Amino acid sequence: MSNKPRSPGRHFLQIPGPTPIPDPVLRAIDQPVIDHRGPAFQKLSKRVLEKVKAPFKTKNPVIIFPSSGTGGWEAALVNTLSPGDKVLMFETGQFASLWNTMAKSLGLKPEFIESDWRIGADPAQIKERLKADKNHEIKAVCVVHNETASGTTSPLQEIRQVLDELKHPALYFVDAVSSLASIDLRHDEWGIDVTIAGSQKGLMLPAGLGFNAISQKALEASKKSGFAKSYWSWADMLANNANGFFPYTPATNLLYGLDVALDLLEQEGYDRVFARHRRHGEATRRAVVAWGLEVLCKDPKYYSPVVTSVLLPPGHDADAFRAIALENFDISLGTGLGRVAGKVFRIGHLADTNDLTILGALSGVEMSLELAGIPHKKGGVQAAINYLAEQAKNPSHKLAAAE
């Protein structure tokens, strides 16, 4: 037992994932383990495999791996491509960089469009590169929908339009690990071939489930893939899933939780979920601007509804600031990653949260800025309050987009 005094109330987990888990989901996970070869599991599995299509907005299969989102990355690549294939990626932040590193380690040949991490994937730059690919050597375009390291969101539909306009046959892969069930994503309508996700963000679960939503085009490509695979094999998964089972031991208790989490999302309504995230993102950015600090994402077109990365003034250590916030106000803020380590802190505003949660988190940040001696103006929390109160006056505010 720790000698540290207990902190009353709930800890403010304001990182961009893992996110706080709703009590009904926690209760669902806390059930006895059952036989994963028996009829009770088969019933659970079939129900979840059908229901999980809803957040992806797909009628096609969604494969669930006992893994993190990183496993979903690998599964997408090795099931559809072959060693030596060229893939096009865009440097939106740390996670795009890690996906690029994985592609290299697997023997693929990624072309990485570099950026300063302050914008999402730029359709114009992607178009320029694909237009030059006269022989269609690029076999896949890989985009991180929401980059939590930089607080940027990429315009997936515009990128799909680029592929269609050029009639380029490349597969379209989307990392939706931090955007699924938080930002509108339409797997079928937007012609995405593999959508990759994880359980610990918008789905409001612990880490441990990785997802691949797949198109018919991706499924056809998997029949020609030259990569050896076993654990990540779609063919094995799909064959077993058809009967309600898995080719190896599944994460049964997380499937219990997923079953309930999907119900909670349906009860709120996905349009309301997306509007809530937009509203909280806008409230957070208004607070940052009022403090006189700088949002890392420099173009409003790419603002993230799920996380805001905040630049501290030169000479101030963002990790030291985060430590002060945790010690004094029991709030966890996201650390800066990669090239922005020590320069930014991140405020997560996603998953199971509401207006008062966001205002409490912003209050903790404002008080921490004062304690840390970081130059700032007063009134960031009040700016957020004013915005949220104004939104609440509109009877349809829960569906209103943040302008």
For the stretch 269-322, pLDDT in tens is: 999 999 999 999 999 999 999 999 999 999 999 999 999 999 999 999 999 999
Same domain flag for 306 and 238: no
Mean pLDDT of 138-165: 98
Residue 117 lies in a domain: yes
Of 239, 195, 244, nearest in space to 215 by CA: 195
Say which CATH number the domain at 327 has. 3.90.1150.10
298 and 371 together in one domain: yes
Residue 195 has pLDDT above 70, yes or no: yes
Residue 350 resides in a domain: yes
CB neighbour list of residue 269: distance below 8 Å, 6 or more residues apart: none
Cα-Cα-Cα-Cα torsion 285, 287, 289, 295, nearest 10 degrees, comes to -40
Cα–Cα distance for residue pair 106/74, rounded to 1 Å: 9
* DSSP letter for each residue of 22-36: PHHHHHHHSS----T
| Residue 15 within a domain | no
315 within 8 A of 156, measured Cβ to Cβ: no
Q: What is the mean pLDDT of residues 41-50?
A: 98
pLDDT tens, residue by residue, 96-133: 999 999 999 999 999 999 999 999 999 999 999 999 99
Predicted confidence band at 344 (pLDDT cuts at 50, 70, 90)? very high
On whether both 255 and 277 belong to a single domain, the answer is no
Q: Given this model, what pLDDT does residue 403 score?
A: 43
Domain boundary among 232, 266, 300: 266
Domain boundary among 215, 240, 266: 266
Locus of tokens 């997306």? 274
156, pLDDT greater than 50 = yes
For residue 394, the model assigns a pLDDT of 80
pLDDT of residue 396 exceeding 80, the answer is: no
CATH code assigned at 158: 3.40.640.10
Does one domain contain both 210 and 300?
A: no
> Does 117 lie in the same domain as 33?
yes
Task: Look at residue 2 and tell me if it is in a domain.
Answer: no
pLDDT at residue 402 in the model:
42
Alpha-carbon distance values, 222 to 34, 328, 330 (Å): 32, 52, 47
**220 lies in the same domain as 256:** yes
338 has a pLDDT exceeding 70 = yes
Residues 190-204 have a mean pLDDT of: 98
Please give the residue range of the domain that contains residue 394: 270-399
Query: Which of 227, 250, 266 is the last residue before a domain boundary?
Result: 266
**Chain segment 346-365, per-residue pLDDT in tens:** 999 999 999 999 999 999 99
CA dihedral (240, 244, 250, 251) positive or negative: positive
pLDDT tens digit sequence for 242-258:
999 999 999 999 999 99
> How many structural domains are present in the chain?
2
Tabulate helix, strand, coil % of the chain (nearest 5): 45, 15, 40
236 with 276, same domain?
Answer: no
Strand partners, 256: none
Q: Which of 21-25, 125-129, 188-192, 393-397 is the least confident region?
A: 393-397
Determine if residue 10 is labeled as part of a ligand binding site: no
What local confidence, expressed as pLDDT, does residue 3 receive? Answer: 72
pLDDT at 401 (0 to 100): 45
275 with 382, same domain?
yes
The number of beta carbons lying within 10 Å of the beta carbon of residue 65 is 24
**For residue 393, how many other CB atoms are within 10 A of its CB?**
7
Residue 367: pLDDT band by 50, 70, 90 thresholds? very high
In a domain, 11, yes or no: no
What sign results for the dihedral spanned by CA atoms 301, 305, 306, 310? positive
pLDDT at 2: 61
- pTM for the full model? 0.96
Q: Provide the percentage of residues in the chain whose pLDDT is more than 90.
A: 95
Residues 174, 300, single domain; the answer is: no
Is 6 domain-assigned?
no
Q: Write down the pLDDT at residue 397.
A: 60
> By C-alpha distance, which of 225, 214, 114 is closest to 172?
214
376, 291 Cβ separation under 8 angstroms: yes
Pair 254, 363 in one domain: no
Examine residue 8 and state whether it is found in any structural domain, yes or no. Answer: no
Is 348 found in the same domain as 250? no
* Mean pLDDT to the nearest integer, 211-219: 98
Is 75 a member of any domain?
Answer: yes
- Based on the fold, state whether residues 287 and 229 are members of the same structural domain: no
- The pLDDT, as a whole number, for residue 4 is 76
